[in-house]
């Protein structure tokens, strides 16, 4: 199978869906002539024109608000938020409007709005350009949340998001764009709510969310060299969450470690840990452990940034300590 980059997989998904459905269009800062600040939309304006690949002012409130309005009248907009930190500017549009329109209209209004949100620490981007706020939105009914970690999933999940009837927050980690992986040339989609087992094992379940997957896979290889075989699960979507897959894995391993780049306090790992406590407590032989970004703003200095981020060594240490834990 051919190998392409994460960014190329996203571009293919957008181009294929725009070619399939004339109601699909892309909108955001520098997505047109410039091709996107991370290059995802390169060439799309030449293929589809400026009416369907629209450069916008620097106004996240306006971008999401216009996308919401377009979705409510039958279009299928894809809007790009260049840095996840600035989705805060559009919080009313996301949380109070897009998330609630279908419910408050008694199901008459659909909101097929995809918000591509670029999250994660790219290296010395400091406190306002490095956050992973996906956990914030798990608290909001009406939103779906996708967080792919491979090029294959990036393409398949984005196509599913575009074809859906609900608002989707589609988180793309900055450091994943250059990562290459196998992606079939033929058309495919990936259902939301189906986790992927990235590595099988029986010593502990390691739940890797989004951009931390490469680190977790490296940690799993190191652990295996020491005789500890962990099962690595990638949720792929946080809402809906494949709870059944997580519980089934814990039934086998009896231990769970959750790894994500969002801050530890009230991050997505907190919700997942609560679910495991409610639905798998009888199978757990140790506390659920979270490995996440420390609860401080992102520093500019690279050594300080690396210090607060979850790393391979942190995952190895967490699992090693967990497998030796005795109730």
* Beta-carbon contacts of residue 223 (< 8 Å; ≥ 6 apart): 203, 229, 230, 316, 319, 320
CB-neighbour burial class of residue 325 (10 A; exposed 0-12, middle 13-18, buried 19+): exposed
Q: What is the spatial distance between Cα 202 and Cα 18, in angstroms, rounded to a whole number?
A: 43
Counts for the chain of helices (H) and strands (E), in that order: 12, 14
Structure tokens belonging to residue 237: 């979507």
CB 146 within 8 A of CB 138: no
CB 17 within 8 A of CB 24: yes
Q: Output the CA angle 271-275-277, nearest 5 degrees.
A: 115
Q: Is 234 left (phi over 0), alpha (psi -120 to 50) or beta?
A: beta
What per-residue string of b and e applies to 244-254 under the rule 16 or more CB within 10 Å gives b? ebbbbbbeebb
Q: Count CB neighbours of 197 within 10 A.
A: 14
Quickly count: other Cβ atoms within 10 Å of residue 1's Cβ.
9
Of 129, 173, 260, 263, the catalytic one is 129
Tell me if residue 208 falls in helix, strand or coil: strand
Rounded to 5°, the CA angle 203-206-208 comes to 160
State the angle between helix axes of 213-225 and 312-323 in degrees (0 to 180), rounded to the nearest 10: 50
Find the helix packing angle between 6-20 and 151-163, rounded to 10°.
30
Q: Is 260 a catalytic residue?
A: no
Residues belonging to the active site: 129
């Amino acid at each position: 199978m051919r190998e392409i980059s994460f960014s190329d997989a996203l571009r293919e998904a957008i181009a294929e869906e725009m070619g399939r459905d004339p109601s699909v269009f892309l909108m955001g800062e520098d997505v047109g002539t410039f091709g996107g600040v991370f290059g995802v939309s390169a060439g799309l304006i030449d293929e589809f024109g400026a009416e369907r690949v629209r450069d916008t002012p620097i106004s996240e409130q306006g971008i999401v608000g216009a996308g919401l309005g377009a979705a409510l009248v039958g279009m299928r907009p894809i809007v790009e938020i260049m840095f996840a930190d600035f989705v805060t500017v559009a919080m009313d549009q996301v949380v109070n409007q897009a998330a609630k329109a279908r419910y408050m209209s008694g199901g008459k209004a659909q909101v097929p709005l995809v918000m591509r949100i670029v999250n994660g620490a790219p290296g010395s981007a400091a406190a306002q350009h490095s956050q992973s706020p996906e956990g914030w939105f798990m608290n909001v009914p009406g939103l779906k949340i996708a967080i792919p970690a491979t090029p294959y999933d990036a393409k398949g999940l984005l196509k599913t998001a575009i074809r859906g009837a609900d608002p989707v927050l589609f988180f793309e980690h900055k450091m994943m764009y250059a990562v290459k992986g196998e992606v079939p040339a033929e058309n495919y989609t990936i259902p939301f709510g189906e986790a992927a087992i990235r590595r099988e094992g029986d010593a502990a379940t390691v739940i890797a969310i989004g951009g931390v997957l490469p680190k977790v896979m490296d940690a799993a290889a190191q652990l295996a060299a020491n005789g500890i075989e962990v099962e690595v699960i990638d949720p792929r979507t946080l809402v809906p969450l494949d709870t059944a897959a997580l519980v089934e894995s814990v039934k086998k391993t009896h231990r769970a470690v959750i790894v994500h780049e969002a801050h530890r306090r009230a991050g997505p790992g907190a919700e997942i840990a609560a679910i495991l406590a409610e639905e798998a407590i009888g199978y757990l032989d140790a506390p659920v452990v979270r490995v996440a970004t420390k609860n401080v703003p992102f520093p500019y200095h690279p050594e300080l940034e690396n210090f607060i981020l979850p790393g391979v060594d942190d995952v190895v240490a967490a699992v090693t300590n967990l497998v030796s834990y005795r109730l």
